[in-house]
Structure 1
Amino acid sequence: MIGKSIRGILHYNEQKVAEGSATLIMASGFAYDIDKLDFAHKLRRFEHLICLKPSVSTNALHISLNFHSSEKLDDTKMQQIAAAYMERIRFGDQPFLVYRHHDVSHQHFHIATVNIKKDGNSIDLHNIGRIKSEQARKFIEKEFGLIRAESKTYHPEPAIKAIDPERIQYGHLPTKRAIASVVTTVMNSYKFTSLAEFNAVLKQFNVVADRGSEESEMFRKKGLLYSVLDRQGHKVGVPIKASSFYSKPILKRLERKFEQNVEKRKPYRADLKNRIDQAISKYEHITKQTLITELQKRGISLIFRQNEEGFIYGATFIDHRCKTVFNGSSLGKAYSAKALKEKLAENDKITTYLAKPKRINSYLKPLSEEKRLQYTEKINLSDLTVSTTTTDKILKDLLDPEYTGYAPSITSKKKKRRIKRKKP
């Protein structure tokens, strides 16, 4: 992620350290040892370089490298990986800080740095994520024997820990700090183009941004409140004003991101469509839950938007691998809510049809001698009490060892027709 505030990036990671959910494991290009570095030292080192070329406003870089949950890496190995990665993206000579985060199940670390060199020139950040970072990632996976992101055993996992609403409700977790961690990471990492898409990601981690009703003063003044959601999607705790957060996730700032992200997410559109197609084409018939599960394996969350009556009117795809958000219709007609509903409804009909029980008459066939003997061996006829009703009579006939087949009526021998002879 590239940005304009190294102070904000440092503040985010240092706050994680203060909470006990992160550790500074490496400080490359700094004159002091890690344990002697305070916030002022770190910020001053970066700002010294930024001042060499004030005309470059986008000068901060915040990188997150995530590993599969089965990987067990110590600090030394992570330091080696971080150094190799920075060399590959041509930032090896830049001062950078590496923070190991412990707030999710899989291991990962964050790197904070700037792109202004000591000679006053800047490092080009154009397509650094899509080109240089991808090449560096593949090299590191091979060099350090890591699970490859393209392998079948790798399932991308979001590098954000969802808020536990129960801890919020019972006062075991400060609401503002918990919301700030989620909102800041989502705002700086994901590429969304509307408040609805932004909320689609936030809700994955039990947070929502609310403008209030259209008739409210808050809505008219473009205010924004952030709240924690419980497991049923209801707001809990005290809502927090957007302007009170350090990262300032206010609507005006978000709207600028909406415009920028329209272009930024375009390079990832084809890859997302390809992974969706792979999930669907894997099955001849697919249900809604199966589709959601298959997409999750590919690092994609599918959210169906519906009204209070339960009518589905939209679908949103969140790509946690490339950090992009697309409405289904933005990907193409085949990925719209309408197209998906028709496909799933058609499959549901097929499933229902196949699940219909066969008519009982199909079972009323003559028993073979082998089957008859099997049944008679399993049943003790002396234990049966049979009434004289028609149903019980049929049952008795069916279980009779002498029975060779079911017939709805008993036929008797044909009586010989007596021919009357006329007397002579």
Structure 2
Amino acid sequence: MADIKVPVFSESVSEGTLLTWHKKPGDTVKRGEVLAEIETDKVVLEVTALQDGVLVSIAKQEGDTVLSEETLGVVGDAGSAPAPAADAAPAPAAVPAATTAPADAGHEATRRDDLSPAVRKVVVENGLNPAQIPATGPKGNITKADALGAVGQQAGQPAAQAAAPAQAAVAVPAGARPEQRVPMTRIRQRISERLKDVQNTAAILTTFNEVNMQPAMDLRKRYQDQFVAKHGVKLGFMSLFVRAATEALKAFPVVNASVDGKDIIYHGFYDIGIAVASDRGLVVPILRDTDQMSLAGIEKAIGGFAQKAKAGKLTLEDMSGGTFSITNGGTFGSMMSTPIINAPQSAILGMHNIIERPIAQNGQVVIAPMMYIALSYDHRIIDGKEAVQFLVTIKNLLEDPARMLLEL
């Protein structure tokens, strides 16, 4: 017999929530196989089997609060009989088919590998059948919005669709406005707390500028095929922004600094967080030592983070630390925004969508692909002059990318 233990949490994490069991008592398990998922206020952790055998019993149910190294269940040798649940009630003599359908749907949800933890939780809790949920994800997968939409449709369906014709009078009236109360996930709660703490602590100010993206677009078009052939990844705008931000941070070290009480900590390294949207909320994995990374290395790292975020597999190490952040609302169509600082950092760069607009160039009006960029910064340590010059440096580097390679 071997106990299934909760992974050791980091010092900043005190507890978690058991999100999903991927096995039920009596199921065969293999060493390294994922048995359960635990959500903390930062990441979703996987609990894996340490040996081959059978899941004999579970001590915690989905939704229960768990502590570091607490026992979740027991795995025994093959042939071990599963132990009955401590609070199990006697089974009824007969169960109507309508009652068993949601449970079957829940079991199907736990077996499907294409469901993210957030989607699986909604499906299981509401007894949905994944096969009946219209999927709008980029690869035909079910998003959290799809699952919540199915819950809303289920709540608004006439009772006659689920009951006998004689009960048709119980149908929801036309024009009804159903509501649903859904608890915040731990990650969403933590995001809310951190953002509000920053607003209450830092003196946040935002400065704007605009960038003519034509030179960067010409660079990509000219070298894209060769870049892909050599590195196996496309050259995107994000790597150029990371490189430009790194050079600007070198020129203005206070933007790369942080506040600790009455002290300013100047960091001699450049760890840039890249905001990534996921089903569970906004997460910010960190690119380490960006001054030592190539454009290809940056693109590969960002692509890897995006895949891990989508699968809910970002680790605490992926998101710990960071001296500066970049967020790209332009991927969703944002034209302008004032991003909130990711504490304890002192500044964050916001990218936006590219729109062709008329501008004055060499005494003539021309149409150019323009992007608004924003820098939100902590005015307690960063003066307006430094913030503006920092943003102008990024603008100049992106409008003449060769300067980044020549370090001018």
Shorter chain as denominator, the TM-score bin is under 0.3
Q: Which has the larger radius of gyration?
A: 1
TM-score where L is the length of structure 1 = 0.25
Name the structure where strand makes up a greater proportion of residues.
Answer: 2
Higher helix share: 1
Higher RCO structure (Cα 8 Å, ≥6 apart): 2
Q: What's the TM-score, normalizing by structure 2?
A: 0.26
